[in-house]
Amino acid sequence: MRLGVLDIGSNTGHLLVVDAHRGAAPTPAFKHKRPLRLAEHLDAAGAVTQQGIDALSDFVSRSLEVAEDKGCEEILGFATSAVRDASNSDDVLAHVLERTGVDIDVLPGEDEARLTFLAVRRWFGWSSGRLAVFDIGGGSLEIAGGGDEGPDVAWSLPLGAARLTRDHLREGRTPESVRELRKAVRAQIAHDAGKLLRGGAPDHAVATSKTFRSLARICGAAPSSDGIYVSRTLTSQALAEWLPKLADMDDAEIRELPGVSADRAHQMVAGALVAEAVLDIFDVPELEICPWALREGVILERLDQISQRDG
């Protein structure tokens, strides 16, 4: 069947059209995306602004047209932390529903981590043993770990690259602001790190998301043009060498680095601080980049539900 997966993230809205069949990997057929930057379209009360709501509604409306043009039989729509944490979340979703007829589900942070873990497990398989999975989004950091298809532990922290940039680096990246952000990030990650660490060192530590992919590319990983089956890693050593350089660059200079998109350049330092903390606090020398993440997890779970229904 052909599915449309509508992912309302904190940075970007994505429509992924896939051909999905039981027993086979979902095959991407078409992609449509638009920068939304919802994590930055918040007022002082933490509500999504009217500008952000209108941008979201326009994107969903256009995505519907694209999904129909591409022959999608079903659309799965979900939103993550930017909408989840907004003080006017219900109003935002009601506005989108009224404008477009699309009922967007809001994923709890734990479900976001769980579904990302599912995608990573299916990608790497059982030979990976006990997995530790990390995903830096625009609004949150998801962490999950375990030896089965579902994680033993899964949680979400408000440590997304866009959120941290908005809350801590809005006035610029001074040495003091970067140091204070580094301290705050590490304290939040370390607070619950024992959930994962009590199970012992993972057999395979994995990262997903655009932020981790960009950091890996900056640190020397293969470009996306080499294909999804090329192994890519982000090492703690390479990131430690690059982070001071990133902190000293302005946004225009970061934008010129390989793998960095123009609309995310201003977030790369915050994202790098989170990635550095993950590598250090969980004592993993490197993270392998997985091309599958939350959207694929949503698709795989839906296929499992169809399989169970049809027996």
For the chain (length 311 residues), average pLDDT per consecutive 10? 94 94 88 91 92 96 97 95 94 96 95 98 97 96 97 97 94 95 98 95 96 98 96 98 97 97 95 98 98 95 82 57
End-to-end CA distance of the chain: 17
Count other C-beta atoms under 10 Å from residue 93's C-beta. 22
How many independent structural domains does the chain possess? 2
Q: Are residues 219 and 127 in the same domain?
A: yes
Residue 42 lies in a domain: yes
In 3-state terms, what secondary structure has residue 96?
helix
What's the pLDDT at 40?
Answer: 84
Q: Are residues 253 and 127 in the same domain?
A: yes
Q: Say if residue 98 is in the same domain as residue 140.
A: no
Q: Which residue has the tokens 């690259």?
A: 161
Q: How many angstroms separate the CA atoms of 6 and 83, rounded? A: 14
- Is 260 in the same domain as 195? yes
Contact 296, 208 (CB under 8 A): no
**pLDDT score, position 41:** 86
Q: Are 243 and 273 in contact (CB under 8 A)?
A: yes
d(CA 267, CA 227): 25
What's 177's domain CATH number?
Answer: 3.30.420.150
Query: What length is written for the chain?
Result: 311
Among 106, 124, 146, the domain boundary falls at 106
Q: Are residues 79 and 171 in the same domain?
A: no
Rounded CA-CA distance 202/208 in Å is 16
d(CA 24, CA 16): 17
DSSP designation for 282: T
**Does residue 270 sit in the same domain as residue 143?**
yes
The answer to whether residue 310 is domain-embedded is no
Beta strand ranges found along the chain (DSSP E): 2-8, 12-19, 27-35, 74-79, 105-106, 131-136, 141-146, 153-157, 204-208, 233-235, 286-289
- CA-nearest of 296, 298, 213 to 257 is 213
Q: What number of other Cβ atoms are within 10 A of residue 147's Cβ?
A: 15
> Would residue 152 count as lying in a domain?
yes
Task: Kindly state whether residue 52 falls inside one of the protein's structural domains.
Answer: yes
Whether 242 is covered by a domain: the verdict is yes
Q: What is the 8-class DSSP label of residue 147?
A: S
Q: What is the pLDDT of residue 308?
A: 74
Quote the strand ranges of 195-242, DSSP E: 204-208, 233-235
Say yes or no: 61 and 143 in one domain.
no
Q: Are residues 58 and 194 in the same domain?
A: no
With respect to residue 274, please indicate whether it lies within any of the assigned structural domains: yes
Q: Are residues 91 and 145 in the same domain?
A: no
* pLDDT computed for residue 306 by the predictor: 83
Residue 266 structural domain: 109-294
- In terms of domains, do 11 and 75 share one? yes
pLDDT of residue 311: 57
- My answer on whether 257 and 139 are in the same domain is yes
Query: Are 173 and 247 in the same domain?
Result: yes
The confidence score (pLDDT) of residue 239 equals 98
